[in-house]
Amino acid sequence: MKLILSSSPHAHAKNSVSSMMRDVIIALLPAAGCSVWFFGMRAVWLIAVCIAASVVTEAVCRIAMKRENSIGDFSAVLTGLLLALNLPPDLPLWMAVTGSVFAIAVAKQVFGGLGYNPFNPALSARAFMLISFTGAMTTWSNPAGYESVTGATSVDAVTCATPLMFIKKGDVSQLTSLKSFLLGNIGGCIGETCAIALLIGAAYLIIRKVITWHIPVSFLATMFVFALFKGGVPPILHVLSGGAILGACFMATDYVTSPITAKGKIVFGIGCGLLTMCIRSGGGYPEGVSFAILIMNAVTPLINRYTQPKPFGRK
């Protein structure tokens, strides 16, 4: 009889890195489809260019580092898709390529590749692009068929203010109906506008046990309670506006950059929600999800340290 000695854990699940990445990609398909529906070929090109640039950069980096090719785990595809969904519809494609290269080469491979990056690669790239290409990253277009508060319908792309900008000014009268927030017929990044599509994807991930409820629920609930006490704007608008749902369900739940314990995930989600609302309320920048998650990524090691369960029998 041959015995194999190995380290724990000894009970293995059927999940693999590639299968989990595929599940997240599948969960993002409804949001990606809605982005194409509302923004047309602009969304198609952004998604295609970001994914292609991410995959090529991953391959080149692995060859240059003389390491095993990791394209097959689909993590580069997921990073490119997430980055594309976090970009304005009219962003020049060369900027999208630049962001994709930064996400893979700098935010991921410099640290050793998947599993070693301390910050979410897609969000790191978005922050880099926001600083480097501020004008292009803050120029928004109405989706095709957008219906304004006056009832006028736009067929062509028109430069507009996002709902968060109106919320920042406290001008709720300029906001569209709640139905538009749910369906995605509003201005913003191509993948963050349709709340229903994002929630369907999040439900799929929870059912598949790829993520748990702890971070999304604590994240969004904290935002809701903060907005409720702050007043001025209905709290549900803060939750449905900007990248709140996309960030809470698909970015903050990243395995590598989020805590591993249930208690730690709740602390992480609360921290993300508080920071998001502090940035939205106190600064000149109307959005805060990306920076909130990146800040909490830096705190993740501490959260893991102080929320890990004590071994049985230890005082």
- Using an 8 Å Cβ cutoff, are 219 and 274 in contact? no
pLDDT of residue 236: 85
pTM value is 0.87
CA distance 100 to 46: 11
Which 3 state secondary structure label does DSSP give 152? coil
How many angstroms separate the Cα of 193 from the Cα of each of 78, 110, 245? 19, 32, 9
Spatial distance between the Cα atoms of 37 and 196, rounded to a whole number of angstroms:
14
Q: Where are the alpha helices (DSSP H) in 133-261?
A: 134-137, 163-169, 178-183, 195-207, 214-230, 235-240, 244-246
pLDDT by residue (tens digit) across 127-170? 999 999 988 888 877 675 544 433 334 434 444 556 666 565 55
- Number of Cα atoms under 13 Å in the Cβ half of residue 177: 7
Q: What is the pLDDT of residues 19-77, one digit of tens each?
A: 899 999 999 999 999 999 988 899 999 999 999 999 999 999 999 988 888 888 899 99
The 10s digit of each residue's pLDDT in 283-313 is: 667 688 999 999 999 999 999 999 887 776 6
Q: Which long-range contacts (CB under 8 A, 24 or more apart) does 231-240 make?
A: 232/170, 233/167, 233/170, 233/172, 234/172, 236/178, 237/163, 237/167, 237/172, 237/175, 237/181, 238/167, 238/277, 238/280, 240/178, 240/181, 240/182, 240/195
Residue 162 pLDDT:
64
HSE (CB half, 13 Å, CA atoms) of 133?
19
Mean pLDDT estimate for the chain: 84
- Residue 192 CA, distance from chain mean position: 9
Lowest mean pLDDT among 47-56, 229-238, 256-265, 271-280: 229-238
Beta strands in 49-169 (DSSP E): 140-141, 146-147, 153-154, 159-160
- Domain locations along the chain: 17-137, 166-301
User: How far is CA 175 from its chain centroid?
Assistant: 23
